[in-house]
Amino acid sequence: MQPTFQEGDYLLVEKISPRLIGLFRGSPVVFRDPRNPQHPIILKRVIGLPNETIRIANGSVTAERGKGGKWEEGGAEEKGANIEKWEEGEKAGNGPDFEMKLGPEDYFLMGDNRAQSEDSRVWGTIQPSEMIGTVLFKF
């Protein structure tokens, strides 16, 4: 999968909505590395929303919310979100299968280049208070 953002891109970041109205699946989010706040800014995409269960298996990501609400990466719900199913054999978490239950303020983030990305599979979830903002435009 080709990364949407490249080194050297300029980004216009909006800081208010993550704290006030929350985020949507597919939103690109800017934040500092949760393991090292002195680390440069990181950009990842929202995949899992609060109170969902994220499952990664056989190169596919699914998110389930309570009674029957299910999202699968690559589905019709994502049109325009620029999220695609990655190819079989790419890194899919800590081993072949991965599962995580998100709390009421947890967001699960993944990079667009899944095979090379360190993301919520490695360092866990991010809360809105840890986010700098969402990307509005790329120049």
- The structure's pTM equals 0.75
Q: What is the per-residue pLDDT for 110?
A: 92
Q: What is the per-residue pLDDT for 79?
A: 37
Q: What is the per-residue pLDDT for 8?
A: 75
Across the strands, what pairs with 71?
63
Domains of the chain: 11-138 (2.10.109.10)
Q: What is the per-residue pLDDT for 84?
A: 39
Q: Could you identify the residue written with the tokens 């080194």?
A: 7
Q: In what order do the strands lie in the sheet with 60-65?
A: 69-72, 60-65, 53-57, 97-101
Q: What is the per-residue pLDDT for 73?
A: 75
- For residue 119, count other CB atoms closer than 10 A to its CB: 19
Percent of the chain scoring above 70 in pLDDT: 79
Q: How confident is the prediction for the chain on average, in pLDDT?
A: 76
CB 67 within 8 A of CB 52: no
Q: Could you identify the residue written with the tokens 């120049």?
A: 139
- Mean pLDDT over 125-138 rounds to 85
113: pLDDT strictly greater than 90: no
Which of 77 and 49 is assigned the larger pLDDT?
49
CB 135 within 8 A of CB 30: yes
Q: What is the per-residue pLDDT for 3?
A: 58
